[in-house]
Amino acid sequence: MTTFNDLGLAAPILEALAEEGYDAPTPIQAQAIPPLLQGRDLIGIAQTGTGKTAAFALPILDRLRDRRPPPRRACRALVLSPTRELASQIAGSFRTYGRHLGLRVATVFGGVGHQPQVAALARGVDILVATPGRLIDHLTGRTAFLEAVEMFVLDEADQMLDMGFIQPIRRIVSALPEKRQTLLFSATMPQAIATLADEMLKDPVRVAVAPVASTAEKVEQRVVHVAQGDKRMLLAKLLKGEAGGRTLVFVRTKHGADRVVRQLEADGIAANAIHGNRSQGQREAALRQFRDGAVPVLVATDIAARGIDVEGVTHVINMDLPNVPEQYVHRIGRTARAGAGGVAISFCSVEERPLLRDIERLIRRTLPAEGPPAPPAASPKPHRSAPRSATPAARGGTHGPQRPARYGSPAGDGRHALAGLPFMAAARRA
């Protein structure tokens, strides 16, 4: 088995890794670090959870050991990240792995004041981790310069494109020196990313780990068929029972996230929401309380949760199924990290069944299901892009024919979300 020592990293970095308890490199690290130490460009096909941050951070730190001072308002390594959370986490990783090197790490992202960032950049930094929009503000305001960048990382490139960052990225790349080392990481490789990679990288090494769908294998998954209007009660029941650990609840919209938090609070369950409309302070507080267990229920939208890395997430609950099946795999990948067990429970209303079919096709398996049997062929089958609010169940009004009977006592065997419900008893008798 390869060790970090074999990869050729310097002693102060090895020391920090040992302190972190990292025994051996992950596959993406073992493949990426040697060519990166040689100065090669690299395309890494890997998602969060594979150890990709260290795969780029360690060789960058190794190169920065020469301690050449960065020019004022400039940086030697630039990492672009799609979200503020991911940017903070990446900066934290650089600080952790580089703790014996005494390098300067700064972050630049929106939602917080400009001035502290200007001050942090003023003397120059070794590593700058930025989101594209705010970095462009600094370039325009001439409070940051990219002429001294030696290493450039574009992280989560597919997510960047989904979020409409393609033009800002091109603009940033055009401000970089020609002579540089470039790294691009992406969970998927659609044509638009391949084109971008062609523009940005020179003779890159390609490394790929576990295609998206295979992550799903580590997580114990099941589906609960439930009427839209009963999801709230089911969620509360799970959180008071089986999912009482550290649970991430996914919803489709920001408003949905706030609503779920209010409903949970009304049901006596403390929860925080994390989504794009919350301030940086609110997001950080929510993440901190989630990490330290003070508020172990976090309700998130897909974008806000992308890249969040919290250890020990015991359950992922999909209150709404995602419209894009790959997002399902990203969501459930928040649990069962680093070989630990994890459970993913997906609520599926009648109108979400086409989405469930798409997910099952992607992960190439049928998920075990609880709840009422499949609807008769004559049932409504909206197109996947149909507005969900158009369905009676989503409006909370009359329910369709599959609506299960009312909940019985909250007791149950604790194993199945719907145990103790009248229709489950009927199903068992059947």
Residues at the contact surface with ligand AMP, assessed by CB under 6 A: 22, 25-26, 29, 48-54, 309, 338
Amino acid residing at 137: D
State the minimum distance, in angstroms, from the CB of residue 193 to ligand AMP.
18
How far is Cα 200 from Cα 178, in angstroms, rounded to an integer?
Answer: 10
State the minimum distance, in angstroms, from the CB of residue 4 to ligand AMP.
7
Please identify, using beta-carbon distances, which residue of 302 and 370 lies nearer to ligand AMP.
302
315-340 residues labelled b (16+ CB within 10 A) or e (exposed): bbbbbbbbeebbbbbbbbbbbbbeee
State the minimum distance, in angstroms, from the CB of residue 207 to ligand AMP.
13
State the minimum distance, in angstroms, from the CB of residue 101 to ligand AMP.
18
Helix, strand, coil percentages (3-state) for the chain, rounded to 5, are 40, 15, 45
State the minimum distance, in angstroms, from the CB of residue 20 to ligand AMP.
7
Please identify, using beta-carbon distances, which residue of 62 and 230 lies nearer to ligand AMP.
62
Please identify, using beta-carbon distances, which residue of 54 and 313 lies nearer to ligand AMP.
54
Please identify, using beta-carbon distances, which residue of 86 and 148 lies nearer to ligand AMP.
86
Q: How many CB atoms lie within 10 A of CB 244?
A: 15
Please identify, using beta-carbon distances, which residue of 114 and 291 lies nearer to ligand AMP.
291
How far is Cα 86 from Cα 268, in angstroms, rounded to an integer?
Answer: 31
Please identify, using beta-carbon distances, which residue of 25 and 204 lies nearer to ligand AMP.
25
State the minimum distance, in angstroms, from the CB of residue 297 to ligand AMP.
21
End-to-end CA distance of the chain: 53
Q: Report which secondary-structure segment, H or E, holds 48.
A: none
Contact call for residues 121 and 145 (beta carbons, < 8 A): no
State the minimum distance, in angstroms, from the CB of residue 310 to ligand AMP.
9
How far is Cα 249 from Cα 321, in angstroms, rounded to an integer?
Answer: 11
406: nearest Cα among 269, 226, 261, 235: 226
Please identify, using beta-carbon distances, which residue of 29 and 346 lies nearer to ligand AMP.
29
